[in-house]
A and B are shown apart, each in its own frame.
Chain A
Amino acid sequence: MEKFKLHFKRISKHPFFGFVLFGLALSLIPIFNNFLPVSFVDSAAKTLIYFIVALGFALLIGYGGLASLGTSSFIAIGTFAIYTVMDLLNMPFALAILIGVIVALMVGVIFGFVSLRIEGMYLAIVTLGLSEIMIELFKNFDKFTGGVSGTTFSSFRLLGQSLSTNQTFFIIIIAVVIAMILTYNLINSPTGRALLAAKNSDSAARAMGISVIKYRLIAFMVSTVYAVIGGMFYMAYIKFSMGSTWGLAVSLNILAAVVVGGSKSIWGVFIGTFIIFGLDLMVFQQIPFLSQGAFANFSFVISGVLIIVVVMYYPSGLIGLFKKMTFKLKNKLAKKSKGERKS
């Protein structure tokens, strides 16, 4: 028993333990699906899907220091890739992922090569332009995208069986946990450190033998792959996608989510995504007083104020605030226990 406890203690300290626990906690939502309002479950799924996208984007902006506004068009590529492969061509999901990733990598390399020369605001503007081009393309390739009116998705199949929304939710949870683990690995590896070094000082990074261009391209590609996979799950769950909805607003929301939560922490990114995408439908709309009448749009005010406050006072995101609080709490507890020991 003692040994088991020790073993458990060691496992529980591993960061992956938290991620798996988080996945288990999330799986309560589809399990108790019948007792929860539909809007709650739907927005939870949406939050998780955007969380996957935001994780990739956090690597790009938090570690690479590259502010791209083209995220939404990559999500759109994901949605249309899965529609084309699974609905039009009747092929399995694995192939959809493969094709989606390949298309995304090609587009990601184009975006990435543009980013090699420019930085900061200019990069944001250029990627914005590229994403606007993408929207026009979606409108015109109506065979694959449904054109202006968008397209619906018939059913999400895995291993030959079509899955219900509830089962899809489970798949999304698994994908979220995997994405968290992979992101954690990447952040704590030479790649993550090289990106941070390049963001801090381009010349110092190059003097240390880091090929800045290579790592920026890697960051771009990783974030596009995450976005495409997020888009696929979006289509699998929501079952509708329209080219013109994937504009600047979605990209900006994801940017805001990452900035509010804290771009250098996986939990921070989750908090940010929850506040931007989940807070309204999952919490405020469930409270009867807030969901009616004059307060119907109250949540947007709150999230707006939150963004302002966080950006002004907590540049490292809400996670920075939490860390500060827990640090203070621990200090207080330590002092208390010391005092007790003395007396």
Chain B
Amino acid sequence: MKPLFEKMKHLLNQFLRIYYTKKLLKLNKKKVFNENEMTFKNHQLEQKKERLISKTESKELSEAEVQTKRQEIEIRIEKELTEAKQNIITKSADIENKIIKMKAKRDNLQNALISKIENDLLALKEKNTHLEKVISEAKKTNKDLNQADELIQEKEEELKNNLRKINIIESRKNTEENTDIHLSLSHLTMKFGGLKAVDDLSFDVKKGEIFGLIGPNGAGKTTVFNCITQFYKPNGGDIYYNDSNNETNSLLDFKVHDIINLGIVRTFQNVELVWELSVLDNLLVGAHSLYSAGFFSQLLHLPKIRYEEKVLKTRALEVLKKLDILAYKDALPYGLPYGVLKKIEFARTLMTKPNLIILDEPAAGLNDAETKELAQLIKSLRDEFNLTIFLVEHDMGLVMEVCDTICAISFGKKIAIGSPSEIQKHPKVQEAYLGGE
């Protein structure tokens, strides 16, 4: 009876922990929204200033009068701006308080989980030493009996599995301690029936780097992607992620539509925009997780949703301007050049101010000139928005040019990891691409 009870308690704890974590992430989103609010207020008041000044200019006053009026206006705007700022600051302080409370609640549960993990770890280690003993004894005593051989094999298999489990747990600790790791895959395994699409794959992505995942066709790159974004739930292994507050989460705890709240956004191989909506509205779709207005607020168009709409529209325009595609803002994406579509998708990912962007074959369907431009764009985006970029690509030119670290995989297994030049020289990579001798 007792173990069942323990299990139930553990499950409940797990559920609550994830629930609180999700709430925390929502609050973080509100913080992002507040930042957007700031730029919106600046923008709005600037416009107001211009309007007022142009009004005074049209009134045919003497120059001195215009000057004084202008000063008056500037003072007024300045005042309004500070007021707005104060407002936003109090709001964000409020959110901060809520975050602290929520965190306290969550951390209790988190600690329980961690202590359980530690216990598991100890138990596993004990089991392993025991197993090793059994194996060595079996080897000593019955050397030539087939039965013993089978036993040894079985035990060794178990030992291996246990070691893998220990590794997974330890890599969690490792990610927690090393805050410069952004994403850590640990013994990731994904099976489709009998086929192992991803087989025991582990690597770390560091903060601020451009990480490339390469491999021949059918190597399982896209499967890795889909495992990270939780479109597939992996059969084994774990994926850990350090968010902007240096909190470590296992991505397996989340659903696909929660992943964006952690600050991970992805693009798609063949641009997946909403073809019936204008470019601006497409960006607003990307900002969907920033809206907090409820259904009735939307139904009745209450002030809250109107305000959020305005704030996020200014953000969208800002992003479009940065990517140099402001001219297309009211156009429907259907029929626009492919390079522009890719840029729109980029812009959509930037709406939520993410930390990690996952690009699925960004150069697919682009010509050479466009690919070069894309490489520039990726680099400049990384520098400007302080991003980490993780990409899968076929175009070797692009990968070698932009990536800081490259991981090469073949048939779901890691064959090499390192800087572009190292990968180019690596004999195993050459073999995977060009075939053995």
Contact = CB atoms under 8 A, between A and B. Distances in A.
A200 interface: yes
A337 interface: no
A208 B260 contact: yes
Q: Which of A204, A207, A210 has the most CB of B within 10 A?
A: A207
B288 A204 contact: no
B284 interface: yes
Interface of A: 182, 185-186, 189-191, 193-194, 196-197, 200-201, 203-212, 218, 264
A185 B295 CA distance: 11
B231 interface: yes
Interface stretch (B47-55, B271-279, B384-392): B271-279
Contacts of A206: 231, 256-257
Given A185-B299, A186-B298, A210 B272 contact: no
A200 B272 contact: yes
Contact of B285 (A186, A208, A212, A264): A208
B241 to A, nearest CB: 15
Contact of A191 (B255, B298, B300): B298
B268 A204 contact: yes
A209 B261 contact: yes
Given A193-B277, A193-B284, A194-B288, A209 B298 contact: no
Nearest to B258: A209
Interface of B: 229, 231, 255-261, 265-266, 268, 272-277, 281, 284-286, 288-289, 291, 293, 295, 298-301, 305, 309, 348, 352
Given A189-B305, A191-B298, A193-B274, A207 B288 contact: no
Contact of B257 (A182, A189, A191, A210): A210
A186 to B, nearest CB: 6
A101 B256 CA distance: 32
A11 to B, nearest CB: 16
B260 A209 contact: yes
Q: Which of B275, B301, B305 has the most CB of A within 10 A?
A: B301
Nearest to B290: A209
Contact of B300 (A185, A201, A210, A264): A185
Contacts of A193: 274, 277, 281, 284-285, 288
A270 to B, nearest CB: 20
B288 A208 contact: yes
Contacts of A197: 274, 285, 288
22 contacts: A185-B299, A189-B301, A189-B305, A190-B291, A191-B295, A191-B298, A196-B274, A197-B288, A200-B272, A200-B276, A201-B272, A206-B231, A207-B260, A207-B266, A208-B286, A208-B288, A208-B348, A209-B259, A209-B260, A209-B289, A210-B285, A264-B276
B260 A196 contact: no
Contacts, number: 86
Given A193-B274, A210-B257, A203 B231 contact: yes
A194 B255 CA distance: 17
B299 A200 contact: no
* Pairs of residues from A and B, 7 with the lowest C-beta to C-beta distance, nearest first: A209-B289, A204-B272, A189-B298, A209-B260, A206-B256, A201-B272, A185-B301
A110 to B, nearest CB: 20
A196 B274 CA distance: 7
B348 to A, nearest CB: 8
Contacts of B257: 206-212
Contacts of A200: 272-276
Nearest to A192: B298
A185 B276 contact: no
A189 B313 CA distance: 12
A203 B272 contact: yes
Given A185-B298, A189-B298, A209-B257, A196 B288 contact: no
Given A191-B298, A209-B258, A209-B288, 4 more contacts: A189-B299, A189-B305, A193-B288, A208-B348
Contacts of B260: 207-209
Q: Which of A189, A201, A205, A209 has the most CB of B within 10 A?
A: A209
Nearest to A211: B257
Nearest to A194: B288
Q: Which of A186, A200, A208 has the most CB of B within 10 A?
A: A208
A196 B288 CA distance: 12
Contacts of B255: 211
A334 to B, nearest CB: 18
Contacts of B261: 209
A194 B285 contact: yes
Given A203-B231, A209-B288, A209-B289, A190 B274 contact: no
Contacts of A209: 257-261, 288-289, 352
Contacts of B291: 190
Contacts of A196: 274, 276-277, 285
A216 B98 CA distance: 31
B237 to A, nearest CB: 22
B161 to A, nearest CB: 33
A276 B37 CA distance: 48
B64 to A, nearest CB: 31
Contacts of B273: 200, 204
A204 B288 CA distance: 12
A197 B348 CA distance: 13
A204 B257 CA distance: 10
Contacts of B300: 182, 185
B422 to A, nearest CB: 32
Contacts of B259: 207, 209
A218 B352 CA distance: 24
Contacts of B258: 209
A189 B300 CA distance: 10
A182 B300 CA distance: 6
